[in-house]
Amino acid sequence: MSRRAKMVLDKEFRIAPVDKRIYGSFIEHLGRAVYEGIYQPGHPAADKDGFRQDVVQLVKELDVPIIRYPGGNFVSNFYWEDSVGPVEERPNRLELAWRSLEKNEVGLNEFSKWAKQVNSEVMMAVNLGTRGISDACNLLEYCNHPSGTKYSDMRVRHGVKDPHNIKVWCLGNEMDGPWQIGHKTMEEYGRLAEETAKAMRLIDPSIELVSCGSSNRDMPTFPDWEAVTLSHTYDYVDYISMHQYYGNRDDDSNDFLAQSDDMDDFIRTIISTCDYVKAKKRSKKVMNLSFDEWNVWFHSNAADDDITENHPWQVAPPMLEDIYNFEDALLVGLMLITLIRHADRVKMACLAQLVNVIAPIMTDAAGGAWKQTIFYPFMHASKYGRGVALLPVMNSTKHATAKHDEITDVESVAVYNEEADEVTIFAVNRNLEEDVELSTDVRSFEGYRILEHIVLENEDLKAVNGLGMEKVAPANADNRSSLDDGVMTSVLKKASWNVIRLGK
């Protein structure tokens, strides 16, 4: 076999503990994410509150520890007061970000109840587009203060006696983007976020705050946006956000799978910028990252534009409903590997989104729910990627791409779960033409044996799943890995996602 990769893993070569919140996700009031997604009263799978239990079970399978809500672009014109109280008294609103009609049937309290069903915490976003400091403070008081004040007592009157105790709060969304309702300059946002953070901490000092970073690395203000806004917010926030979506717009699958290298570069640049501000401020505080929007997104763009421009003000129109293929799943796997590799600084991340909207889970309004191709690498990482990220000493053969020069055939990372006495290797062979033999030195893990080798592979890079039709699903490939005298030899088939688990 001409294609080879070598890796050395050692218990002491540690990057950092993996914060489980890097396996977070996102539900926005957009398209069919909420209505016909998580919520559909009258559906055979709906419970008494209208939440689809078939969706609940799939979300539980992904084991998502935190979910960002309610946006996204939606939050920049969100009036939270409209989403609470008796449902029959809630107003319909023109939703400006996606030009839809928001009926407010599901709001803050309903979503919090649903999040508990799926064993998730809520990452709440505040409106710093059309609103500001006082409204953010009022919302926090409503959510987290026990009782005895205007907004906490309002929550109690709404039937929620105990505080929600939401711990993570996003200070707006993509405020650098001209598309954002209430778009701000760097200085404007920096000052507003700083003052909002200071005020919110007076109400609840225990909260964690996320300052808006760049909407993507191609923004003309990147990375000045981070440097300028953090010069205001650095002492008052815990994270800066990152957003990035990728797509195979040129129909070049070889180069498409190189885009995780761009993600790695993006993260490294943000870390450098944060550390520059840290040095400038003579601070001892380390700024961590919240990669709270990431995914593949490009399939549905034309259809989305038609709805917003030519058919506005619909209730929950089908928008951003990308149908993911096998190569999309490979890139999602590569992006997960990249996030784990940066576990020392990336402490939260949200696959955007969770149901129907650029999502691993899809629903049929008249039928069932099903798993997209990207469901599986995310599920594997969430299930087996808990523990300490190990720094692999890696050497791989390379191949050429159109826009990224030469890239490695194999990208890999490992997570050591000391409590379970297991180590899991995640690896993608992104060579589309040839298999690769991966040799891994695991002498540090004396007495371990191969528990399983799981693969996701398909001869057709464009293969998709559908309701009752699963063409892309994991399979067992234990015969592909063997362990001899502390060295494991694994065959990674061309274009494949691999999960290799070792333990006692």
Q: Catalytic residue at 174?
A: yes
Q: For residue 462, what are the contacts with CB-CB under 8 A and spacing of at least 6?
A: 325, 326, 327
How far, in whole angstroms, is CA 454 from its chain's centroid? Answer: 23
Token pair 């959510």 in the structure block, residue: 143
The Cα–Cα gap between 296 and 126 comes to 25
425 alpha carbon, distance to own chain's centre: 21
Query: Exposed e or buried b for every residue in 219-242, given b needs 16+ CB within 10 A?
Result: bebbbebbbbbbebbbebbbbbbb
Cα distance from N-terminal residue to C-terminal residue, the chain: 30
Q: In what order do the strands lie in the sheet with 481-484?
A: 393-396, 4-8, 436-441, 487-492, 481-484
Q: Is 53 left (phi over 0), alpha (psi -120 to 50) or beta?
A: alpha
Distance CA 169, CA 475 (A): 39
> If you ran DSSP here, which 8-state letter would residue 287 be given?
P
- Name the active-site residue from 28, 81, 174, 411: 174
- Say which of 110, 226, 293, 422 is annotated catalytic: 293
User: Distance (Å, rounded) from C-alpha 370 to C-alpha 373?
Assistant: 10
- How many CB atoms neighbour CB 473 within 10 A? 12
Q: Which residues are catalytic?
A: 174, 293
